[in-house]
Chain A
Amino acid sequence: MSANMSDAVETSPKVADEVKYTTCYMCACRCGIKVYLQDGKVRYIQGNRNHPVNRGVLCGKGSAGIMQHYSPARLSKPLKRVGPRGSNEFVEIEWDEALEIATEWLGNIRKTDPKKLAFFTGRDQSQSLTGWWASQFGTFNHAAHGGFCSVNMAAAGLYTIGGAFWEFGEPDWDRTKYFMMFGMAEDHDSNPIKIGIGKLKGRGAKFVSVNPIETGYTAVADEWVGIRPGTDGLFVMALIHELLKADQVDFDYLARYTNAIWLVIQDEGAADHGLFARDEDGNPLCWDQEKKAPYNALAADAKPAIAGEYTLADGRKAVPAFQLFAQRYLDEQYAPEKVADTCGVPAEDIKRIAAELAHVAFKEEIVYEAEWTDWAGRKHDKYIGRPVSMHAMRGISAHSNGFHTCRAIHMLQMILGSIECPGGFRFKPPFPKPIPPGLKPAKEVAPNTPLGGPPIGFPTGPEDLVVEADGTPKRIDKAYSWEHPMASHGLMHMVIHNAWKGDPYPVDTLMMFMANMSWNSSMNTKGVIEMLTDKNEETGEYKIPRIIYSDAFFSEMVPYADLILPDTTYLERYDCISLLDRPICEADAAADAIRYPVVEPDRDVRGFQEVLLDLGARLGLPGMTNEDGSPKYPGGYADYIVNHERAPGIGPLAGWRGKDGDKQGRGEVNPKQLEKYIENQSFWTYHFKDNQRFYKFANKDYLETAVELGFIPKAEQIVMQLYSEPLQKFRLAAEGHGEIQPPERERERVKNYFDPLPIWYPPFEEDQVDNGEYPLHALTQRPMHMYHSWGSQNAWSRQITNFNKIFIHEETAAKYNIEDGDWIWITSYHGRIKAQVKTMTGVNKDTIWTWNAIGKRRGSWNLKPDAPEGKKGFLLNHLISELLPEKKGDYRYSNSDPITGQAAWFDLRVKIEKAAPEEQGESAPQFPVMEPVPGVQNRPELLQYGAEFRKARGD
């Protein structure tokens, strides 16, 4: 550096040689980013201000993307295991050899019994490709990670309102006056929620957070409701009780947009008891108050009754669904005073929140002036808004009562008339969709044959289950069986257990992508590691004989795979953020996006999607091979993104379709489509007009456009389902009706939990363990600067958090004579761990919690073995069993929601005790250090990233 005694500053230094726009992948939010490149390196990553998701902002994860991209934990070449599993003895092999090995393994399976391939993906943002690939291969043993993440939210939403929280809808941040957030939600939709909270607080809206822990977003809420975990459903039902009792219900809304008016047959013991009364065309009936007779409930001229008991043409009784709804929640068991102790929320707070909701919904009504036409062709000159909005996520989802709890929240939204209106909760197109969407899970597999449909879908009755003739599960994860009939995202958390146990059968190969199953993505981590290394005593073969794994990094899963296919970083790859998958739309616009390589890989790595298509061609899968046997997508994933059509004119990307690129949604393949995306900063949006903006489920112009764009099959009103008939169909079967019957063991369970109206029951683990012995709840959440980011090896992120403590309310800690900094043992019925304490007051007194996935196995992610992540960090996962507690001799169900199979991470019950003085200083359990595999680079002792840019500038 030349001595420069002048204080003059270069205020317009060169920033980049070029700027490229792509999509972030540091979490699930998928923001638009602007990547500044200098001398072939990434100088800076900024949020793209034109992008619909993040509008220019970028979170702590996205801002740390450079360190992820240049991480020394990156894998650099395919690896073949040569030592025993877990030993980390691998040799590098060429891609050709790797693909030949995989083709041989998978080819043998495909020609004999394709279901012997279990293909599950984790942090997958290409599920429309991976699901299609599984279906072309012919295995229904496929799902992504939704079963352990958010399926309770997705399923409850899609079976109730036609959309769901998170990706399928959002609060009307610009107009809402009262915002309720349930459960830990500092996660999905990361930047939109932060942008929204900033906006609504600026406008003086009230923000109520219902959450056992007062951190993150909750810290800026007006009101913190520090609820006891797993009781949100009961709390919501008490709110509904209060509203009903005071007649604070939007009846007009219920009659127009929900099935509250549909007549439910009341004929106890009959095969159709509890189903909707229908006319000969299958239309649901209501009681028409003017005609004094049953009438088509979908007809525009119906004058429906909402309560009362009526006689059908066949002389049987029927009542509007609302009658059953009101009868249930008016019951005194839902009175605030009755639920207060269970929920840990004072009755007066519940009453006040109900009063506030009613006031804002009905007295603070807002009007959005715009002409629109409803589903029946009637013109309106305004949209009425009930400015109460809600959002819920992990805290609701991760309980074994989460499906019903989420449905209860949707009930509350419906009676307030606050879904899809100005100021309420709004759908993001392509939602709402028919309730539920029309896809059914594939039921049959056959050698050398693609599935008859997608591996995952939405059953509406016993006939859609994927079960053997005797009612036992067909899928390896037991999804869509009587154990979890509406498992719309599969049960990834059960795959390794079931495959190891051979229940319902052993598999041959387990193929996974971006899923850290031997660490933070599994319940019972230690047990899973044992299952992955367990051998069949007779044959000496591993019980899960072959494991193929794709990851960009040296994660804890690497040692347990037989074949490693190294993935790229997100800046080196093509991707499409497709409307066929988990879209990135906003309420006023449909959107999709791409990633494209903004830098070239400096290692011998390939994007997993690229590899899948290659494998597909080598295996001769029909969708990936031409008739002459040549690959259909020789240009790899980019080729597929442009040229693949799922239905005529519908492909992975909706923008710039058609030969000339002038069509949207539907249109022929456009060979220049990717170029158009790149020109347009890697995303496409389609903005809806004022006449399409609200009430999308009943808005003619919206529905017609949605059909044109390929979002929904028909421009018919989508009627929200207050009362869920599919649930009743399963229950009727369990009561003995119909030909398809559950196995005896499942009968009571299905009868109990398949209630067509939301119920609350204590989470299973709480119900089954001795709560005197295990008096506390234990939860995890991820800090905002790491949520959903892949790994914690990031040099910058780990300076903010590199080990986790266990947080305890100071009064609770005092009871155990525990102080800040003490080390304690935490024990569940399943396991025991050791961690260091931090006391606080912003937490429910019956709850302890920690940051998740900060604890790393020593040596993994190329961290030094003495890094705090390994030495002091810990996982709560060791305490959580993938099975429910053993009851004498009884079958052990998975630790999941009985309806959807959602992993019940948050049902955990624990006890705590102070560790002995000699036990301080290190977390437990500890595992052997992971030695680096070939190709993992040397980690630097010193990082001076960016010095080179300054040097090049010469300042």
Chain B
Amino acid sequence: MTMLPQKTGKKLGLVIDLDICVGCQACAVNCKEWNTGGHMAPLTDQDPYGPAPDGVWFNRVHSYEARGGCGSQTVHFPRSCLHCQDAACVTVCPTGASFKREEDGIVLVNEDKCIGCKLCSWACPYGAREFDEVEGVMKKCTLCVDRIYNEKLDPEDRVPACVSTCPAGARHFGDLGDPDSDVSRLVAERGGMDLMAEMGYRPTNKYLPPRPRKRDAADVGAASNQLNPVQDQSSAFLKWVDKVLSR
């Protein structure tokens, strides 16, 4: 049993825009690339060239079809640690290896304390924990803690790898505890949601739902669902014949 901080200074997290995520996997692979040499290095890959390649990924993108009454919609859904405020993965940890940072709310694992019991992965409702079978320790998204404060990087690069690389601009990073931050405003504007809010873990990361789709002519401001033909087509030609144009 590990304690959560009463309160964190900041609530750093991600805002993920499901309206424009095209499922390209850039965030997942760039995360892997950064982190396999980063704070929790390596992100071990077993059987990399064989029948069952299986590696540690801090971020995975799932694509599936939401099938409903009025047709289907393909949804691309990136999934990583949501850095919950009531992080069950922390409270369940018997050794104190899983912890939530008081200063910024990032949930981390101290590998030196981790005994690989996997209780945290059972407790996490989002399946965001990644066990490294070879190293025998639990790994997870660090919110690129070795990037976001890194003075050896250009200031623009001090954001998580997934955010910096996302081609569609579907990922945002910031302090969700500050109501005036860009990310908080975005969440307010777009109706950002907690994933499985009913579970009560108060995830820090938010998902922006797809915008309403423009399906009717009125959605683009057109007056009618079809054009009005010129009454008599021969008169249309006559009108065109009389046109005096210039170059």
**B55: which A residues are within 8 A, CB to CB?**
795-796, 799, 943
Contact between chains at B227 and A799 (CB < 8 Å): no
Q: A939-B49, A944-B42 are in contact. Are A64 and B146 (CB under 8 A)?
A: no
Q: A46-B157, A355-B227, A866-B50 are in contact. Are A841 and B45 (CB under 8 A)?
A: no
Please measure, in the bound complex, the distance between the C-alpha atom of A351 and the C-alpha atom of B229, giving whole angstroms: 11
Contact between chains at B44 and A220 (CB < 8 Å): no
**A290: which B residues are within 8 A, CB to CB?**
244
Interface string of B35-49 (1 = CB under 8 A from A): 111110111111111
User: Cβ of A308 < 8 Å from any Cβ of B?
Assistant: yes
Q: A251-B243, A299-B247 are in contact. Are A942 and B46 (CB under 8 A)?
A: yes
Please measure, in the bound complex, the distance between the C-alpha atom of A12 and the C-alpha atom of B153, giving whole angstroms: 8
Contact between chains at B237 and A785 (CB < 8 Å): no
Please measure, in the bound complex, the distance between the C-alpha atom of A888 and the C-alpha atom of B233, giving whole angstroms: 46
Contact between chains at B215 and A348 (CB < 8 Å): no
Closest CB-CB distance, B104 to chain A, in whole Å? 10
**B112: which A residues are within 8 A, CB to CB?**
1-5
Contact between chains at A360 and B220 (CB < 8 Å): yes
Please measure, in the bound complex, the distance between the C-alpha atom of A261 and the C-alpha atom of B240, giving whole angstroms: 12
- Closest B residue to A56 by CB, please name it: B164
Contact between chains at B167 and A944 (CB < 8 Å): no
**B8: which A residues are within 8 A, CB to CB?**
none
Contact between chains at A255 and B245 (CB < 8 Å): yes
Q: A352-B225, A352-B226, A354-B226 are in contact. Are A63 and B26 (CB under 8 A)?
A: yes
Interface string of B7-37 (1 = CB under 8 A from A): 0000000000001111111101110111111
Please measure, in the bound complex, the distance between the C-alpha atom of A863 and the C-alpha atom of B152, giving whole angstroms: 38
Closest CB-CB distance, B224 to chain A, in whole Å? 6
Chain A: interface size category? 35 or more
Contact between chains at B166 and A348 (CB < 8 Å): no
Q: A201-B19, A214-B74, A864-B50 are in contact. Are A194 and B168 (CB under 8 A)?
A: yes
Closest CB-CB distance, A758 to chain B, in whole Å? 20
Closest CB-CB distance, A518 to chain B, in whole Å? 21
Contact between chains at A359 and B29 (CB < 8 Å): no
Contact between chains at A220 and B21 (CB < 8 Å): yes
Contact between chains at A795 and B152 (CB < 8 Å): no
User: Cβ of A304 < 8 Å from any Cβ of B?
Assistant: yes
Complex interface residues of chain B between 81 and 138 (CB less than 8 A to chain A): 99, 101, 108, 110-113, 134
Complex interface residues of chain B between 129 and 180 (CB less than 8 A to chain A): 134, 145-146, 148-153, 156-157, 161, 164-170
**A348: which B residues are within 8 A, CB to CB?**
225-226
User: Cβ of A243 < 8 Å from any Cβ of B?
Assistant: yes
- Closest B residue to A207 by CB, please name it: B214
Closest CB-CB distance, B96 to chain A, in whole Å? 8
**B48: which A residues are within 8 A, CB to CB?**
795, 798, 939-940, 942-943
Contact between chains at B217 and A5 (CB < 8 Å): no
Contact between chains at A15 and B43 (CB < 8 Å): no
**A245: which B residues are within 8 A, CB to CB?**
227, 229-230, 233, 236
Q: A195-B168, A222-B214 are in contact. Are A795 and B226 (CB under 8 A)?
A: no
- Closest A residue to B170 by CB, please name it: A198
Q: Which of B24, B75, B99, B214 contacts A194 (CB 8 A)?
A: B24
Q: Which of B110, B156, B241 contacts A307 (CB 8 A)?
A: B241
Q: A247-B230, A842-B72, A864-B51 are in contact. Are A206 and B67 (CB under 8 A)?
A: no
Please measure, in the bound complex, the distance between the C-alpha atom of A784 and the C-alpha atom of B28, giving whole angstroms: 13
Contact between chains at A306 and B76 (CB < 8 Å): no
Closest CB-CB distance, A417 to chain B, in whole Å? 13
Interface string of A40-71 (1 = CB under 8 A from B): 00011111010000101111111110100000
Closest CB-CB distance, B87 to chain A, in whole Å? 14
**B182: which A residues are within 8 A, CB to CB?**
none
Q: Which of B37, B67, B148, B229 contacts A950 (CB 8 A)?
A: B37
Contact between chains at A201 and B20 (CB < 8 Å): yes
Closest CB-CB distance, B136 to chain A, in whole Å? 11
Interface string of A846-861 (1 = CB under 8 A from B): 0000000000000000
Please measure, in the bound complex, the distance between the C-alpha atom of A308 and the C-alpha atom of B246, giving whole angstroms: 16
User: Cβ of A766 < 8 Å from any Cβ of B?
Assistant: no
User: Cβ of B219 < 8 Å from any Cβ of A?
Assistant: yes
Complex interface residues of chain A between 244 and 277 (CB less than 8 A to chain B): 244-248, 251-252, 254-256, 261
**A871: which B residues are within 8 A, CB to CB?**
51
Please measure, in the bound complex, the distance between the C-alpha atom of A205 and the C-alpha atom of B46, giving whole angstroms: 44
Please measure, in the bound complex, the distance between the C-alpha atom of A214 and the C-alpha atom of B64, giving whole angstroms: 11
Contact between chains at B42 and A950 (CB < 8 Å): yes
User: Cβ of B207 < 8 Å from any Cβ of A?
Assistant: no
Contact between chains at B65 and A840 (CB < 8 Å): yes
Closest CB-CB distance, A806 to chain B, in whole Å? 16
Closest CB-CB distance, B197 to chain A, in whole Å? 24
Contact between chains at B45 and A943 (CB < 8 Å): yes
Please measure, in the bound complex, the distance between the C-alpha atom of A798 and the C-alpha atom of B19, giving whole angstroms: 27
Please measure, in the bound complex, the distance between the C-alpha atom of A223 and the C-alpha atom of B51, giving whole angstroms: 39
Please measure, in the bound complex, the distance between the C-alpha atom of A1 and the C-alpha atom of B42, giving whole angstroms: 13
Please tell me the number of chain B residues within 8 Å of chain A, measured between CB atoms: 99
Please measure, in the bound complex, the distance between the C-alpha atom of A800 and the C-alpha atom of B45, giving whole angstroms: 12
- Closest B residue to A301 by CB, please name it: B247
Q: A59-B26, A216-B23, A223-B214 are in contact. Are A304 and B245 (CB under 8 A)?
A: yes
Q: A197-B168, A330-B233 are in contact. Are A842 and B153 (CB under 8 A)?
A: no
User: Cβ of A781 < 8 Å from any Cβ of B?
Assistant: no
Interface string of A782-796 (1 = CB under 8 A from B): 011100000001011
Contact between chains at A949 and B167 (CB < 8 Å): no
Contact between chains at A222 and B20 (CB < 8 Å): no
Q: A201-B211, A246-B227, A942-B45 are in contact. Are A58 and B165 (CB under 8 A)?
A: yes
**A177: which B residues are within 8 A, CB to CB?**
220
User: Cβ of B228 < 8 Å from any Cβ of A?
Assistant: yes
Contact between chains at A198 and B20 (CB < 8 Å): yes
Q: Which of A66, A299, A359, A946 contacts B38 (CB 8 A)?
A: A946
User: Cβ of A13 < 8 Å from any Cβ of B?
Assistant: yes
User: Cβ of B58 < 8 Å from any Cβ of A?
Assistant: no
Contact between chains at B57 and A60 (CB < 8 Å): no
Q: Which of B156, B168, B170, B220 contacts A49 (CB 8 A)?
A: B156
Q: Which of B23, B108, B220 contacts A178 (CB 8 A)?
A: B220
Contact between chains at B227 and A243 (CB < 8 Å): yes
Contact between chains at A218 and B32 (CB < 8 Å): no
User: Cβ of A737 < 8 Å from any Cβ of B?
Assistant: no
Contact between chains at A355 and B26 (CB < 8 Å): no
Q: A60-B24, A946-B43 are in contact. Are A308 and B167 (CB under 8 A)?
A: no
Contact between chains at B49 and A940 (CB < 8 Å): yes
User: Cβ of A202 < 8 Å from any Cβ of B?
Assistant: yes
Complex interface residues of chain A between 53 and 93 (CB less than 8 A to chain B): 54, 56-64, 66, 72
**B113: which A residues are within 8 A, CB to CB?**
5
Please measure, in the bound complex, the distance between the C-alpha atom of A866 and the C-alpha atom of B168, giving whole angstroms: 36
Contact between chains at B22 and A784 (CB < 8 Å): yes
Please measure, in the bound complex, the distance between the C-alpha atom of A242 and the C-alpha atom of B239, giving whole angstroms: 17
**B149: which A residues are within 8 A, CB to CB?**
11-12
User: Cβ of A9 < 8 Å from any Cβ of B?
Assistant: yes
Q: Which of B45, B71, B146, B153 contacts A796 (CB 8 A)?
A: B45
User: Cβ of A468 < 8 Å from any Cβ of B?
Assistant: no
Please measure, in the bound complex, the distance between the C-alpha atom of A355 and the C-alpha atom of B241, giving whole angstroms: 24
User: Cβ of A501 < 8 Å from any Cβ of B?
Assistant: no
**A214: which B residues are within 8 A, CB to CB?**
72-74
Q: Which of B71, B150, B211, B229 contacts A11 (CB 8 A)?
A: B150
Q: Which of A38, A60, A244, A940 contacts B26 (CB 8 A)?
A: A60
Please measure, in the bound complex, the distance between the C-alpha atom of A62 and the C-alpha atom of B99, giving whole angstroms: 33
Please measure, in the bound complex, the distance between the C-alpha atom of A920 and the C-alpha atom of B76, giving whole angstroms: 30
User: Cβ of A305 < 8 Å from any Cβ of B?
Assistant: yes
**B23: which A residues are within 8 A, CB to CB?**
215-216, 219, 784
Q: Show 5 residue pairs from A and B whose CB-CB distance is below 8 angstroms, ordered by the A residue.
A: A46-B30, A72-B49, A198-B168, A358-B222, A376-B247
Name the 3 nearest CB pairs between A and B, nearest first.
Answer: A946-B37, A194-B167, A60-B25
Q: Besides the contacts A9-B39, A784-B22, what 18 more A-B pairs have beta carbons closer than 8 Å?
A: A12-B149, A13-B38, A15-B152, A46-B161, A46-B164, A57-B166, A197-B168, A220-B22, A223-B213, A248-B227, A251-B240, A255-B246, A303-B244, A305-B241, A355-B224, A867-B51, A942-B45, A945-B36
